[in-house]
Amino acid sequence: MQVFNACFKVIRRNLPSLLTYLFIFVFLVIMLTLFFRNPGDAVFEPVKPRIAVFQDDRGDPYTDSLVSWLGQQARIIPIPDEKEAIQDALFYRDVTYVLRIPAGFGVRLMAGDRDGLSLERTLSLDGWSATTMDLLVERYLRLSSLYVQTLDGWTAEAVSGAVQADLTAQAAVQLTAGEKKGINRAAYFFIYLAYSMMAVMILGITSILLVFNQPDLRRRNLSAPVRLVRFNLQLMLACLVFALLTWLLMIVISLLLGARELPVMEFILLAANALVFTLACLSLSFLISQLIKSRAVQQSIANVLALGTCFISGVFVPQDLLGDAVHTLASFTPTYWYVRAVNTLDSLPLLSLQTLQPVIQAMLIQLGFAAALLAVSLAVVRQKRQAQAM
């Protein structure tokens, strides 16, 4: 196993550059751990708009109930009943909605007389809260008129109580397809793993093969007592073991930083998806090692490919925010299908053979990339050997 041991000696020499990308991955996931906030844990609280109410119909039970209800739906801000003060309050956004209830409003509404009956309303033109508040008031009045017109003998308190009960009624919602999960930070760990994995694989594999592809060393190995078949098998085994160790190290780091919170089956699928992506990166690295001849371009190619594919494939920018042209371009990279499989797994409400079909399809496409890149690499190797023989 001389060739196998020599490969890992090369890896040890290049360990600092490999650890750089590993530390970047660990830093990213630690930052996500510190600043991640699951949207499912946030409690929704409606924002109460700031309004002003001028009640010229004091003492009427209907208008008193209306003002009391407005106080529950919004924050009533006291301001002077002067035109200039009202305009200043609207201009400086002290209030966004001003309501004036004229005298006799409650009596006329309870009598069913709405001809010419209206409230004086002033809205802030660029405020959504003012429009929302005005719609609520209009709905309150329409329901009140409906009760007065259809039911005889109801008091103002009864009408107001019925209207407020109707406005506070809520419909029950039930998800029949299963409960939708919140975003899990472990999904981000596996997404950012794509950048570190590709960079580490390209640097590691090209470092090994660049050494053994040197003309002088290659001629010396051809004259060595080790058979060429055995030599190539040990070289391939070393590259495969390096890829598996890199994948295993990434999975262990993910476990330590939160992936253990996932359900077992989901974690297994995410790990399998990462393994398939590792094989695709291995084939890509093997192809690159046949095309470059110096270490001067090794770091540049690793950075350009890792960063470039991650930017267009949804690692640093979510795939939902990418344009159609970017989606089409990114679909020709294994990184795109890897990220797509992670996003699909994270959004599934339940795991079944039918729901997992997009994930399986994405993994098969990655295997297709691995096979295609390996075939191109072998063709390049064969062509180079024929050129050297001539």
* pLDDT tens for each residue of 241-259: 888 988 898 888 878 877 7
Among 42-51, 110-119, 198-207, the range with the most confident prediction by mean pLDDT is 198-207
Question: Of residues 271 and 43, which shows the higher confidence score?
Answer: 271
Domain-located, residue 176: no
Is residue 365's pLDDT more than 90? Answer: yes
Which of 61-70, 85-94, 207-216, 270-279 has the highest mean predicted lDDT (pLDDT)? 270-279
Average pLDDT, rounded, for the chain: 79
> Which of 168, 199, 225 is the endpoint of a domain?
168
Q: Which residues contact 119 (CB under 8 A, 6 or more apart)?
A: 99, 100, 101, 102, 105, 137, 141
Report the DSSP beta bridge partners of residue 99.
53, 121
219 pLDDT tier (thresholds 50, 70, 90): low
Is 252 contained in some domain? Answer: yes
Are residue 119 and residue 146 in the same domain, yes or no?
yes
For residue 358, tell me if it sits in a domain: yes
The pLDDT value given to residue 178:
46
Using only C-alpha atoms, what is the Rg of the chain? 34
Among 168, 203, 231, the domain boundary falls at 168
**143 and 281 co-located in one domain:** no
Same domain membership, residue 251 and residue 142: no
Number of C-beta neighbours around residue 326 at 10 A: 17
Number of domains the chain contains: 2
Q: Are residues 200 and 251 in the same domain?
A: yes
Domain boundary among 136, 168, 200: 168
On whether residue 254 sits in a domain, the answer given is yes
Q: What is the CATH number of the domain that holds 76?
A: 3.40.1710.10
Domain that holds residue 122: 50-168
Please report the pLDDT score of residue 180 as a whole number.
46
**In the predicted structure, residue 177 carries a pLDDT above the cut 50:** no
The reply to whether 61 and 132 lie within a common domain is yes
**Higher per-residue pLDDT: 264 or 5:** 264
pLDDT in tens, 96-135: 888 888 888 888 888 877 677 778 888 877 667 788 888 8
Confidence of residue 182 (pLDDT cuts 50, 70, 90): very low
